[in-house]
Structure 1
Amino acid sequence: MTRFLNGVERIGNKLPDPFILFIALAALVVVASWVISLFDVTFVVPGDESEELAIKSLLSTEGIQYILSDTLNNFVGFAPLGIVLTMMLGIGLADKVGLIETGIKSTILKAPKSLVTYAIVLTGILGNIASDAAFVIIPPLAAMVFYNLGRHPLAGLAAGFAGVGAGFTSNLIVTGTDALLAGISTEAIRTVNENISVTPVDNWYFMMACTFILTFVGGFITEKIVEPRLGKYEGSAGEEVKEATSLEIRGLRNSIIACVIFVALLVIAILIPNSPLTGEDGSIVPSPFLTGIVPILLLLFVVAGVTYGVTVGKIKSSRDVGSFMGESMKDMSGFIVLVFAASQFIAYFSWTNMGAWIAISGAEFLQSIGMTGIIVILAFVLFTAILNLFVFSGSAQWALEAPIFVPMFYYLGYSPAFVQAAYRIADSSTNVITPMNPYMIIVLGFVRQYDKKAGLGTIIALMLPYTIFFLITFTIMLLIFYFAGIPFGPGVDVNV
């Protein structure tokens, strides 16, 4: 296993940076569209046999004009860009004023000792509300908690890292990840059907259920497999976990009260007759409330962040709010750069009709060999889990896969939100063992505080049980929802 993972690391390190990878893929689409167009390839979209489509070349006069005239539109009009940046304005504010860290410390330190392992895993899972920041905050805190309880600190670190990484896609509330992946899914499905969209709440029910199940599984693995293997810790490294101060607790309490008031007002606004937040018949699905969930969540996080910041003295004037939001946007610079390249690749893929052609051809092939049921979805889950060893970024990987698999499975009758859920469970599970995870080195630094001789193999050996059992658990949950017909989100079924 170690030799295999070392080979994966060597291969993965040879891959270019995601930005360069998408630029290369865009260039490949340009060349491929020209080559395929030479053979006059045409196809018919199922359900609309009246029009025959052809593969268009980006090296034609029309194609070159499209590249030059639509580059800015491809970037600015890329759905995930506005959604994620909007969400991060609120989440980033809450993170910068210290609300999220206080919530994490309060959750872990207040838990009974018998439940502290499960509290750490749950906190790690819920910590993805802070996106990648959770990778830096939760594992070292969890290690220090275990150390102060006389337990092996690496077991605590592993539990926290598993929750953050392998459980990254789950949560009890809608997060920036939901918004980001939904935006990419919408871009992908609209290449074949402009009337379908995926909202940030389309996987909500499924991810809430997975949160509770994974908390139990993660705690069980830590106490029955990981910690016994590590044995008793004999070192002396570590430091006291500082409990949240009375001021921080007051800030957390006030922010919770503010959020409860906000949600109560929102519920009242939804329940009033002829509410502007409900559909024409008073329904929630579909409704302006669901389509406007992103700005509503932004306001919720702003209310929580400002309340906490004012209480603890981090926000002294209105200028501080904008300043903290600006700091959070600095952290998004890498994402914005990546989006520029990814948006061009997806737009090129769509304009040439290559995406629709591959999807339809792939669906017809799968139908011809009889692979149209849940087996093809399980094969997709396994493929994604392996691919994540080489492409860590969940958004980057989904931007690669969505233009192919969302339309392909759509023609097999599957909802894009269901396909997105299948992608998410595979992508999360291997986050904690891939050398391509940029936070692996940071976590290794935390590990070496307690084991000076630790290396990458130490982390992989710690985390491999979580990857295996989380992937199995996620898949079982997917099958339960699939066969029981349980909605994955409000009004979201397996089939289109």
Structure 2
Amino acid sequence: MTITKTRGRSESLGLRLLAGVERAGNALPHPFWLFWILFGVLAVASWILSGTGVQVEDPASGEMVGVNNALSVDAIRSLLSGAEESFVTFGPLGTVLIVMLGVAVADRSGLFEVIARRALSNVSPRSVVFAVALGGALSKFLSDSAYVVLIPLGAVAFKAVGRSPMLGMIVAFVSINAAGDANPLIAPGDVVFAKVATEAAHIIDPNVTVRATDNMYFTTVSALVLAITITLVTELILKKREHTLVVDVDQADAAASSVMGSSAVLTDQQERRGLRATGISAMVFLALLAAAIIPSGSPLRGEGGEFLESPFLDGIAFFLSMFFLVLGTAFAAGSQQLESASDIPRFMADGVRSIAPLIVLFFAVSQFLALFKFTKISTVVAVVGSDAIQGLGISSVALFLIVVVCIAVLNLLITSGQALWALVAPVIIPMMMLLGTNPATTMALYRIADSCTNSITPMSTSFVLCVGYLQTLNKKAGIGTLISFTLPCALIMFVVWLGLFLAWWALGIPLGPGAPVR
């Protein structure tokens, strides 16, 4: 009896803590308003700091700079007249729009869904966990659609081999959330992250460019390591509680019936024809691209035949967009969905409409960053912070741990990866650069911190979505149900991924092409 009561109290305390986190997160405004609130706080802070006369040496120019008062008449005029330019020239804006034009065609044609469903069909019982985990890690191209497609598919895959479909949902959810930033391929989000990192790095050095490929080597290995980690945690820890994930009798077929999407209207023959056309188109596209890149005198190469500093890598967003445009068009034509050429621009328009909320958020973010740059607070904070850390004599490893833990805690409340990166990048990238850390290394640290806590915060819309999916199979499933299974995965993955990074850093292995870890 004593043990039962202790467990009850422990569970109640845990649920109360989760409820407290949920209330705190719900108290935060929408990210759009959050950035405008921070805009006001930053403006007031600039007024106060400018009056103190604090000055630091600008690492970029070597000149002494202080904080500019954003509330002065001249500053307000300058900010208002430059608002349009700040938004239009905001790096991620054009990147997202260009990439989405191509991705939308592949998404609206049903290509992504068909590939995901077929990849998880006929998976053997011994490899089902790894297959679902790796599928989630590779699903970043689907963006938010990954949850809608892969969570039900995880249930179907587990049910097919006689295991709990609820556990299949949880494994898929954890792998998308926690391993989504460990992707061996270049996804649209990588391009956005690189653009934000580049703008932040320009605070210190205007010649620095962060590319979407700068973490490619590290994320490729990480995807496999994290998929194996999820598999081991599931089989060694979560499997012991799998019996508690009981499906309601009247919901036994819910998982299978929920896997419906744009491809549900296609016959197997149509899907096969579409995939065949897609495969041929992909090979032709990649062959032509390789033929255009290989010659040293190619216009896609840089000066002297340079590849890392080339129009190809600088314009990777355009080539990604064209790649998905070709694949989506080929699948739609091969599966007999393409009625006329006018369907393609319609798919593109649908894709742009789907990211309208992100464009709205970008407007607020661009104005906040423009103010940050104008006030030069980021420069002052970076220099003062780096000097303070150097004075304390903190090792690089200790600094990495502090950065990762702080971002992980923030991510419990600000669950939008791009919004949080836009918020912290202008501070941590310049500060870390002054301490000798490559921006690509800071970006890799952010991936670890941002990813691993995504699956344990009730503030995330994907978390709520997964709870909803679980409730389609068991009406009593709730936040506590999901947390009890995701927490072990999140903690162990955090330790494993951070350990992988520290080993990578200690060995001095490049994070990507032309991106040294030190």
TM-score range, shorter chain: over 0.9
Partner of residue 361, structure 1:
384
Partner of residue 37, structure 2:
24
Partner of residue 321, structure 1:
344
Could you tell me which amino acid in structure 2 is paired with residue 17 of structure 1? H
| Mapped partners of 1:7, 1:227: distance in 2 | 29
| Mapped partners of 1:297, 1:30: distance in 2 | 38
Partner of residue 9, structure 1:
22
The answer (yes or no) to whether the contact 1:144–1:238 under 8 Å persists in 2 is no
Partner of residue 481, structure 1:
504
Relative to 1, partners in 2 of residues 1:72 and 1:48: Cα closer, same or farther, differing over 3 Å? closer
Please list every run of 5 or more consecutive structure 2 residues that lacks an aligned counterpart in the other structure: 1-13
Are residues 1:112 and 2:124 paired?
Answer: yes
User: What is the CA-CA distance between 1:283 and the residue it aligns to?
Assistant: 3.1
The DSSP-based 3-state class of the residue aligned with 2:52 is: coil
Equivalent positions of 1:26-425 (< 5 A) are 26-46=39-59, 48-49=61-62, 51-231=63-243, 233=246, 235-236=248-249, 237-239=252-254, 240=256, 245-425=268-448
Could you tell me which amino acid in structure 2 is paired with residue 35 of structure 1? I
The answer (yes or no) to whether the contact 1:165–1:428 under 8 Å persists in 2 is yes
User: What is the CA-CA distance between 1:80 and the residue it aligns to?
Assistant: 0.7
User: What is the CA-CA distance between 1:14 and the residue it aligns to?
Assistant: 0.8
The answer (yes or no) to whether the contact 2:59–2:204 under 8 Å persists in 1 is no
| Mapped partners of 1:216, 1:46: distance in 2 | 43
User: What is the CA-CA distance between 1:148 and the residue it aligns to?
Assistant: 2.9
| Mapped partners of 1:161, 1:471: distance in 2 | 16
The answer (yes or no) to whether the contact 2:296–2:304 under 8 Å persists in 1 is no
User: What is the CA-CA distance between 1:235 and the residue it aligns to?
Assistant: 3.8
How many pairs align?
A: 494
The DSSP-based 3-state class of the residue aligned with 2:456 is: coil
| Mapped partners of 1:47, 1:163: distance in 2 | 41
Could you tell me which amino acid in structure 1 is paired with residue 368 of structure 2? F
RMSD: 1.6
Range that drifts further, 462-471 or 404-413: 462-471
The DSSP-based 3-state class of the residue aligned with 1:12 is: helix
The answer (yes or no) to whether the contact 1:121–1:159 under 8 Å persists in 2 is yes
The answer (yes or no) to whether the contact 1:279–1:287 under 8 Å persists in 2 is yes
Please list every run of 5 or more consecutive structure 1 residues that lacks an aligned counterpart in the other structure: none
Could you tell me which amino acid in structure 2 is paired with residue 386 of structure 1? V
User: What is the CA-CA distance between 1:149 and the residue it aligns to?
Assistant: 2.4
Range that drifts further, 139-148 or 180-189: 139-148
Q: Output one character per residue of 1:235-291: Cα deviation in whole Å (capped at 9) or x when no partner.
A: 442244779823213312321221122111111112224112223332322222211
More helix by share: 2
Relative to 1, partners in 2 of residues 1:320 and 1:156: Cα closer, same or farther, differing over 3 Å? same
Partner of residue 5, structure 2:
none
Report the TM-score when normalising by structure 2: 0.92
The answer (yes or no) to whether the contact 2:274–2:332 under 8 Å persists in 1 is yes
| Mapped partners of 1:346, 1:398: distance in 2 | 12
Partner of residue 468, structure 1:
491
Report the TM-score when normalising by structure 1: 0.96
Give the share of equivalent positions with the same residue, in percent: 36
| Mapped partners of 1:475, 1:193: distance in 2 | 28
Could you tell me which amino acid in structure 2 is paired with residue 391 of structure 1? I
| Mapped partners of 1:481, 1:375: distance in 2 | 16
Within the candidate set 433, 436, 447, 2:456 is matched to 433
User: What is the CA-CA distance between 1:48 and the residue it aligns to?
Assistant: 4.4
The answer (yes or no) to whether the contact 2:60–2:204 under 8 Å persists in 1 is no
User: What is the CA-CA distance between 1:29 and the residue it aligns to?
Assistant: 1.1
The answer (yes or no) to whether the contact 1:87–1:294 under 8 Å persists in 2 is yes
Range that drifts further, 474-483 or 227-236: 227-236
Range that drifts further, 31-40 or 284-293: 284-293
The answer (yes or no) to whether the contact 1:255–1:305 under 8 Å persists in 2 is yes
